[in-house]
Amino acid sequence: MNAVSQTSLQASAASFRARYEGLKERLGGDSIQRAEAADAFAHQGLPGPREEAWHYTALRPLTEVAFHEPVVLLSDCAAALAALPDLGMPRLVFVDGRFRADLSDAVTGATLRTGAPAFGPSVALGEKMVALNAMLAEDGAAITVAPGVDAGAVMLVSLGSDAHGVPVSFHPRHSVVLGAGARLTLVEVNGGTGVYFNNPVLVAEVAEDATLTHLRIQQEAAGAFHISTVLADVQARGTYDSFTLALGGRLSRVEVHAALLGEKAMAHLNAAQLLGGVQHSDFTTIVRHDAPATASRQTVKNVLTGRSKGVFQGKIEVARVAQKTDGYQMNQTLLLSGDAEIDSKPQLEIYADDVKCSHGATVGELDADQLFYLRSRGVPEAQARNILVRAFLSEALDPIEHEGARAAMEAAIAAWWERQA
């Protein structure tokens, strides 16, 4: 990392710290935890490419923008809301990181602004973007499902803006707590207009025999920055089942930390990244197997056009006590342009002897024989390429059981493909 990059990271970090100093007297939540986060961020700063976990994703484009605190909320969100998928479920809407009751049709628990606990047990201040979030979080959803209750599905919407042409940054802190045997499907949709920086953190606690299905559609504005972190703790026989569709943003990164803490706990961390132009998207996962007979599955698909760059980093950590672990990860990439790039880094760190763990990665172009077969039967080239891309993505989409969410993702993929044509 050159001196200019280091200086820009330091200047941007100083700007965020200055905002905290100006806001700390009116920020909600636990002031002690907030101060600890500020101290951690002051010591650590923003991550740079010299750090192994951020080697393939440089934040320099983000540091080139002067972000401000959101001051004016969108007065009319009709157009932005109309662009969202209608999934026929209750929704919680946040605009520039703040809850909008007038745009929501569900109030599930408290929000950070109305007195919910600030951060939950998984503070994880060693993660620099989490520390930044904990320092500046002003609001966020707090969803709690009682033991044994099937809460159905809830939509969590985040809309970003650059009101009056001023780029803003916001750092929502969401909490989802499932009691023993509870079930919830959380459909998270991120979108917006203009230039902004969305740095959300979601802390999930999944108790024994509970299941959290977390489906995400990231379709931020073309000039936006999206860096999100999920911290999921899963107890015995619990399941954290997630799928992320990353389509938008100038620079985006989704980082998932899943800790399997009880026997037979399970995590599914699947994703698809569809990128064009000069977009950069990073999907990073860390799965900790900390109990016997736990299982994890990761299937990540990338489709890259233009001069875009995709990143996949997947790490499976198996503790000595975690015998009978079953861990699997696969990353597959279609390069539809000679200028597109993928960095793939699957990792296994195993301290137990009786385990079944595997990983793999493939990179290639569309199959010329398959393309010729379709063309020879009268299928136009653009349609033939679309058929092959959709077939490539089907393995990642197939496990999505919620029909409305899956239909919304397929529609988003179709719209993305039309923009590439």
Residue 384 counted as domain residue: yes
Give per-residue pLDDT as tens, 281-338. Answer: 999 999 999 999 999 999 999 999 999 999 999 999 999 999 999 999 999 999 999 9
Please state the domain count of the chain: 2
User: Do 237 and 374 have their domain in common?
Assistant: no
The yes-or-no verdict on residue 91 having pLDDT over 60 is yes
Lowest mean pLDDT among 72-76, 94-98, 251-255, 359-363: 72-76
Residue 397 counted as domain residue: yes
Q: What is the pLDDT of residue 33?
A: 82
User: Do 36 and 181 have their domain in common?
Assistant: yes
Q: Using CA atoms, how far apart are residues 160 and 74, in angstroms rounded to an integer?
A: 9
The yes-or-no verdict on residue 205 having pLDDT over 80 is yes
With beta carbons less than 8 A apart as the criterion, state whether 70 and 170 touch: yes
Q: What is the pLDDT of residue 300?
A: 96
Specify the pTM: 0.94
Q: What is the pLDDT of residue 170?
A: 95
The yes-or-no verdict on residue 4 having pLDDT over 60 is no
The yes-or-no verdict on residue 211 having pLDDT over 80 is yes
**Phi-psi group of 129: left, alpha or beta (phi > 0 → left; psi -120 to 50 → alpha; rest → beta):** alpha
User: Do 387 and 255 have their domain in common?
Assistant: no
Question: Which of 261, 295, 321 is the last residue before a domain boundary?
Answer: 261
Residue 93 counted as domain residue: yes
Average confidence (pLDDT) over 142-163: 92
Average confidence (pLDDT) over 160-168: 83
User: Do 70 and 201 have their domain in common?
Assistant: yes
Q: Please, which pLDDT band fits residue 108 given cuts at 50, 70 and 90?
A: low
Residue 341 counted as domain residue: no
Question: Which of 245, 261, 277 is the last residue before a domain boundary?
Answer: 261
Which residues, other chains included, contact 207 with Cβ-Cβ below 8 Å and sequence gap of 6+?
147, 178, 179, 180, 181, 182, 235, 238
Q: Tell me the CA distances in angstroms from 421 to 173, 280, 342, 412, one per residue in order.
A: 37, 20, 21, 15
Q: What is the pLDDT of residue 407?
A: 93
Q: What percent of the chain has pLDDT over 70?
A: 91
Residue 107 counted as domain residue: yes
Give per-residue pLDDT as tens, 76-86. Answer: 566 677 777 88
Q: Which residue has the tokens 């969305």?
A: 198
The yes-or-no verdict on residue 114 having pLDDT over 60 is no
The yes-or-no verdict on residue 238 having pLDDT over 90 is yes
Q: What is the pLDDT of residue 254?
A: 98
> Which structural domain range is residue 390 located in?
366-421
Question: Which of 215, 244, 261 is the last residue before a domain boundary?
Answer: 261
Average confidence (pLDDT) over 66-78: 70
User: Do 118 and 248 have their domain in common?
Assistant: yes
Pick the more confident residue, 90 or 112. 90
Q: Please, which pLDDT band fits residue 111 given cuts at 50, 70 and 90?
A: low
Give per-residue pLDDT as tens, 34-56. Answer: 888 899 999 999 999 889 999 99
With beta carbons less than 8 A apart as the criterion, state whether 11 and 47 touch: no
User: Do 250 and 395 have their domain in common?
Assistant: no
Q: What is the pLDDT of residue 361?
A: 92
Residue 70 counted as domain residue: yes
Q: If we measure between CA atoms, which residue out of 270, 268, 252 comes closest to residue 260? A: 268
Residue 350 counted as domain residue: no
Residue 274 counted as domain residue: no
